[in-house]
Amino acid sequence: MEYARFVNGDRMKDFFRLMSRTQFLELLEGFEPLDSEVVPLTQARGRVLAQDILAPEDLPPFSRSTMDGFAVRAKATFGASESEPSLFKVVGEVPMGSSGQDIEVGPLEAAKIWTGGALPRGADSVVMVEFTHPIDEETIEVFKPVAPGENVIAKGEDYREGDVVLEGGRVLGPSDLGALAGLGIVEVPVVKRPKVAVLSTGDELVPPDATPRPGEIRDINSTTLHLLIEECGGIPVPMGIIPDDFDSLKRACEEALREGADVVLLSGGSSVGRRDYTLDVFRGLKGCDVLAHGVSIRPGKPTILAKQGNRALFGLPGHVASAIVVFLLFVRPLVRYMSGRDLSTGLNEVRVRCGQEFPSVSGREDFVRVRLEDGPEGLSDMKWAYPVWGKSGLISPLVKAHGLLKIPRDSEGLERGEEATCLLFSYTYQ
């Protein structure tokens, strides 16, 4: 009976509908960005703005000095020079934080003002203190003319009431959020971060903090996927290690969906038999369609994608290198897309030269773990990529690699010295 499933699993391989990476990504376009939620400014960095933000008022709300000096009527300074300074009567000082409206500056009058102070009535400009000289407590000489508006930030110069400050879809950075703070907008509507449930399966797996008995091994994928999810802006929902049987897996998927997971990652289906389980489990979920079963990439071929409403369920290969490649190529773009970004990996891509021959097979895209090094003498226009070979069940080659070299679908391999594209892992290469 076990044997039947075993061999049946083998035959199933013939039914793989192998699609290209591009076709797989097109399937992901069938999902929708998530709804929005309102968060405080200090939690909005890197989030995607859900709608345009208009200025509710002018910024600054009044005309302000950009210098320490004297607020004057510019016209009265015209013609002033080192040799023929103009005399001004100092009629007061604008205290910081006061409206300036209780001081009026007449034609040959000046009011002391500090950087950021509100321009008093009658004044239209500020003479820098460097271009003045005190005669007595009530009189100054001005050596240099100013133009109207000089050394002043006018009311509404940053934003006028009703201006579009930020457009929906923008990824929010520190300055954007500073602008909102200045306008008194302290919460902001952003696209929700997708919750990504991580289910590991495999009866040989134990958690990282357990001591494995002979034949058992610690779960690596849960930790790696957790951090990969966070890295691209998702919220990891760890579901632990699930017993490797249909009922347990189905129950765990249902629980993940009930808990609001937008994406479910079922990791551990490297075995042909297990892949069948994953397929059966996904097919057994209410309203769930299997969209893809197999992609023509290496590693990562046995990837499964299913869809329940706007929820995505991935059957990831169990081998850690394959799981990471599939995560970067498909899950990461989907998490970004659901968070309001574009459907791309968002990883840095660099052009490199092949440090040696990279064999491949036409009809599939290869993603080879590579180290980047300086090129040979005289050939240092770009970094050179050297493969970090190793079985896809090993984690150490990923630790040693800087990124993934892409061998195109129509290529039978790359020659030494040939140009290629490398997707950089985020943190390891710097």
Q: Which of 56, 162, 173, 359 binds a copy of itself (CB under 8 A)?
A: 173
Residues 337, 358: Cα–Cα separation, whole Å: 32
Does 150 bind a copy of itself (CB under 8 A)? Our answer is: no
Residue 27: count other Cβ atoms within 10 Å of its Cβ: 16
CA 129 centroid distance within chain: 46
The distance between the two most distant Cα atoms of the chain, rounded to a whole number of Å, is 107
Nearer to a copy of itself, 217 or 415 (CB): 217
As a whole number of angstroms, the distance between CA 268 and CA 215 comes to 16
φ, ψ of residue 353 to 5 degrees: the values are -110, 145
- Mask of contacts with a copy of itself, 213-252, x by CB under 8 A? xxxxxxxxxxxxxxxx-xx----x-------x--------
Q: How many residues does the chain have?
A: 430
332 binds a copy of itself (CB under 8 A): no
Residue 207 Cβ, how far from a copy of itself at the closest point, in Å? 9
Instruction: Please identify which residue in 16, 18, 37, 68 interacts with a copy of itself, judged by CB under 8 A.
Output: 68
Q: Residue 195 CB, nearest distance to a copy of itself (Å)?
A: 16
For a copy of itself, the closer CB: 141 or 254: 141
Binding segment toward a copy of itself, per CB under 8 A, in 4-12, 279-287, 293-301, 373-381: 4-12
DSSP states along 377-425:
TT--SS-EEEE----TT-SHHHHH--EEEEE-TT-SEE-TT-EEEEEEP
Q: Which of residues 254-293 bind a copy of itself (CB under 8 A)?
A: 270-274
Q: Residues 6 or more apart from 136 whose CB is under 8 A from it?
A: none
Structure tokens at 80: 């002033």
3-state secondary structure of 110: strand
Task: Give me 333's structure tokens.
Answer: 């773009």
Q: What is the DSSP letter of 329?
A: I
- 3-class DSSP assignment, residue 139: strand
**Residue number with CB closer to a copy of itself (60 or 106):** 60
Q: Binding string to a copy of itself for residues 348 to 387, with x set by CB under 8 A, is what?
A: ----------------------------------------
Distance CA 315, CA 306 (A): 8
Q: Which CB sits closer to a copy of itself, 288 or 335?
A: 335
Nearer to a copy of itself, 31 or 131 (CB): 131
Q: Does 174 bind a copy of itself (CB under 8 A)?
A: yes
Size of residue set near a copy of itself by CB under 8 A: 112
Among 189, 235, 395, 417, interactor with a copy of itself by CB under 8 A: 395
- Determine the Cα–Cα distance for residues 106 and 397; give it in Å rounded to an integer: 77
Binding flags for a copy of itself, 18-57, as an x/- string (CB under 8 A): -----------------------xx--xx-----------
C-alpha 258 chain-centroid distance: 27
The footprint of a copy of itself on residues 77-116 (CB under 8 A) is 93-101, 112, 114-116
